[in-house]
Amino acid sequence: MNGTDAPRVRRMWVFLDTPRSETDGSWRFWARVTGSRLAPTRGADGEFSTLLPDRGEPWVKLQAVGGDGGVHLDLDVDDVAAAAGRAERLGAERVGAIGESVVVMRSPGGFPFCLTTWHGESGQVRTGLSSILDQVCLDIPSSRWDDETAFWSALTGWELRGSDEPGFSSLVRPPDIPLRVLLQRLDDEDGPVRGHVDLACTDRADDVRRHVADGAQVVEERSFWTVMRDPAGRAYCLTDRSPRPPPGR
């Protein structure tokens, strides 16, 4: 797969997809722990909101769903139809569409994402933050690793970079993209690709205490990260990374 003719990804958003019965508590939790404000709900049934940071443009959206929930990505591009056609040629499945501005898709390994129309948002303010939700980790079964990592690099046109930590790679994002994409190779041989969000923390132990006080649960402590569950049962991680990484990391 070749990323040289990839359409430019203008903006990347992560959606926290939450069962409707859990949205009130989950949305308030994520607003508190990210230091954000909840935007007014939108959609026919009030099923969407956004986490609004104190400064700068947002990059995290919230959606009430009928299923179990999880996360998905939106990639803003200039030409949705052209980008969707290319994604299909790379092995993605088209699931549906909302008018001409949104195409709903799944990666070759089954991870949900949307190609969406860019509306001019750009950049991210990180100054003064002690923690930030800034990473989406794709959890990839070992049999799907090669195809899935090649797909995401080709779709975005971003370089796939290895890690000093065995079993991990990342995509080298442009400086104006607010989310880092980490790819984790699972011990599981097969199954669908899934995802979770990670927060970069200046003081992970302090953030663990703060998240627990707000209703999260600790699942597992690791050398450089802590696996958590939010009040809706969604897994996420608090990690020992700087909230102010250099561009492209």
Tell which residue, 194, 185, 193, has the closest CA to residue 142.
185
CATH number of 11-117: 3.10.180.10
Which amino acid makes up residue 200? Answer: A
pLDDT tens-digit series, residues 202-249: 999 999 999 999 999 999 999 999 999 999 999 999 999 999 865 555
Residue 138 DSSP SS3:
strand
Q: Evaluate the CA torsion angle 201, 206, 209, 215 in order and state its sign.
A: negative
**CATH architecture group of domain 131-239:** Roll (3.10)
CA 152/CA 58 separation, integer angstroms: 23
pLDDT tens-digit series, residues 91-114: 999 999 998 899 999 999 999 999
Enumerate the domain spans of the chain. Answer: 11-117, 131-239
Q: Do domains 11-117 and 131-239 have the same CATH topology?
A: yes
CA 69/CA 226 separation, integer angstroms: 21
